[in-house]
Copies of this chain bind each other. A is one copy, B any other.
Amino acid sequence: MSTIRPSLALTCRRKLAAHCCRARYISSSSRRCNSPSVPSIARLLDEGPPNPDHVVVNGYVRSIRELKRVCFANIGDGSSRESMQAVLTHEQAKGLSYGSAVKMTGAWKPCRPNAKQSHELEVSGVDIYGPMDASTYPIQKASMTPEFLRTMPHLRTRTPFNSLLLRLRSTCIAEITKFLNEEGFTQTHTPIITSSDCEGAGEVFNVNSSRKDAGLDGGEAYFFKDAKYLTVSSQLHLEALAQSVGNVWTLSPTFRAEKSDTSRHLSEFYMLELEMSFVDDMKVVMDMVEKMIQQTTRGLLRSRLAKELTVRSQGGTEILPERWKILAQGSWPRITYTKAIGLLRSSGEPFDHLPAWGEGLGIEHEKYLAELHKSPVFVTHYPRSIKPFYMLASSTSTDQEETVDCFDLLLPNAGELVGGSMREHRLDPLIISMQAKGLVAPGLPASITDEQMGALKWYIDLRRWGSIPHGGFGLGFDRLLGYLADVPNIREINTFPRWVGRCEC
């Protein structure tokens, strides 16, 4: 009988009568699990226990096999894709099922020579942390489809591969944070609720208090006086900070209210955005993209994740390390958009659509260009007409072919990962460019009033006093993780994915 804590017992004893557990359940009076002193299973497998005669393991039963004399249980705790093998008596295994949360104590013994693992736990004691009805548990030992698992993001991370994706995300963040810190970049927190819905990045979400009378004086329609939106990009705010403290970056949630139902788009996703100040050559920004991704990937290659992801390869080939090697080194080709259009048009490939100069590239074209080079490829200098207002005109522009100093980084089999540009840092050309997109009222730049500048007046301000040349980029962080893990659908990468009509938990 598990000991119900006194207060609840006093008030709800009858209701809890059903909460009857086996004697082996850990009761609150004998509770002792204190994780800091208990090593993770990854550590146990990698380094062995400090004291082989007395090992304590916390984890979940991933499988259980009953033989004639003994039972074998595989125990995982999410720290490793592999599980630890435990040997139990039939008596000890009683009540255990797939998914049970357990504490096991025992001795660390060498396995037979041909076994998959070098050691196993010879169990002396088992405690079960809580009841487990395997018959209703939605997570099955058998393979489940990604679509099925997406219906329960709160449980799917319990599977070995999905918990590995969590660790991949964490390790990537740590590597990037370390790298950019060492490079002298300042990590910033740019705002999520913003005033502008007109940065040209597509549909936006709006935000308001859920109470109708939430305004300052009790009678207003808006909590923040007027309409506010979820950020579609941190770039504009980062530019303000780059003029304050030098090179800056952020890893921030970003939002698009688009109805896209694709494997590459979500309504909520993480973007790594970075801005470099006192830079007037786009090469410097592309060099930083290359260096950051390469250093991060090298960090991953040194981690145990590299080994864990190799396990996924099929037919004996090590698919994943190849992908990682591509990202870890080399000088990635840089071609202009104009050249890219030429390559595509002369390729003879049966594209769904063959782009002409002045049109955007589709995913089929992006993949083709990267696969052609067998490498990540920077495509630079796109036409101004298909790019946002803030990009700097290229010095190589002609009257016929007006381009901007911008680039996309395309990956083999994956398409666009990074988009960046030099920013228009001169006041009058910026105003003219914003006028062309309808963001600022028409008129001579010199005589534009604050009201005519509209919601982005603050952004124009940055060019009014002490403006500097600068450039930066945004990297789709979930896309990077998807590429590294060879998971084509971003809905498996984002822990709690949101898209049109879908927002579980």
Q: Is the CB of A190 within 8 A of B496?
A: yes
Question: 8 tightest A-B contacts by CB?
Answer: A7-B397, A78-B245, A157-B244, A130-B467, A216-B501, A191-B496, A31-B280, A58-B278
Q: Is the CB of A210 within 8 A of B204?
A: yes
Q: Give the distance in Å from the alpha carbon of A429 to the alpha carbon of B240 in the complex.
A: 50
Q: Is the CB of A191 within 8 A of B268?
A: yes
Q: Give the distance in Å from the alpha carbon of A329 to the alpha carbon of B9 in the complex.
A: 40
User: Beyond A194-B505, A205-B223: 20 further Cβ-contacts under 8 Å?
Assistant: A5-B394, A5-B397, A7-B399, A12-B432, A16-B445, A18-B428, A29-B395, A33-B468, A43-B184, A79-B246, A154-B240, A178-B178, A190-B495, A191-B495, A192-B268, A193-B267, A195-B504, A205-B209, A206-B210, A215-B501
Give a binary string over A387-402; 1 marks a CB under 8 Å from any B CB, 0 the rest: 0000011110111001
Q: How far is the CB of A227 from chain B (nearest CB, A)?
A: 8
* Stretch from A113-121, A131-139, A318-326 that touches the partner: A131-139
Contacts A6-B395, A155-B461, A259-B214; is A277 near B35 (CB within 8 Å)?
yes
The answer to whether A423 has its CB under 8 Å from any CB of chain B is no
User: Which residues 153-167 of A have a CB within 8 angstroms of B?
Assistant: 153-155, 157-158, 162-163, 166-167
Q: How far is the CB of A265 from chain B (nearest CB, A)?
A: 14
Contacts A18-B428, A268-B193; is A34 near B158 (CB within 8 Å)?
no
Report the interface size class on chain A: 35 or more
Q: Given B129, B211, B464, which contacts A133 in the complex, CB threshold below 8 Å?
A: B464
Q: How far is the CB of A7 from chain B (nearest CB, A)?
A: 4
The answer to whether A72 has its CB under 8 Å from any CB of chain B is no
Q: Give the distance in Å from the alpha carbon of A181 to the alpha carbon of B11 in the complex.
A: 42
Give a binary string over A463-505; 1 marks a CB under 8 Å from any B CB, 0 the rest: 1111111000000000000000000000000111010111111
How many chain copies? 2
The answer to whether A65 has its CB under 8 Å from any CB of chain B is no
- Of all chain B residues, the one with the shortest Cβ separation from A499 is B224
Q: Given B188, B193, B210, B465, which contacts A166 in the complex, CB threshold below 8 Å?
A: B188
Q: Is the CB of B34 within 8 A of A77?
A: no
Q: Given B214, B257, B468, B505, which contacts A191 in the complex, CB threshold below 8 Å?
A: B505
Q: Is the CB of A392 within 8 A of B5?
A: yes
User: Which residues 203-244 of A have a CB within 8 angstroms of B?
Assistant: 203-211, 214-216, 223-225, 227-230, 237, 240-241, 243-244
Q: Give the distance in Å from the alpha carbon of A501 to the alpha carbon of B226 in the complex.
A: 8
The answer to whether A359 has its CB under 8 Å from any CB of chain B is no
Q: Is the CB of B132 within 8 A of A465?
A: yes
The answer to whether A449 has its CB under 8 Å from any CB of chain B is no
Q: How far is the CB of A63 from chain B (nearest CB, A)?
A: 14
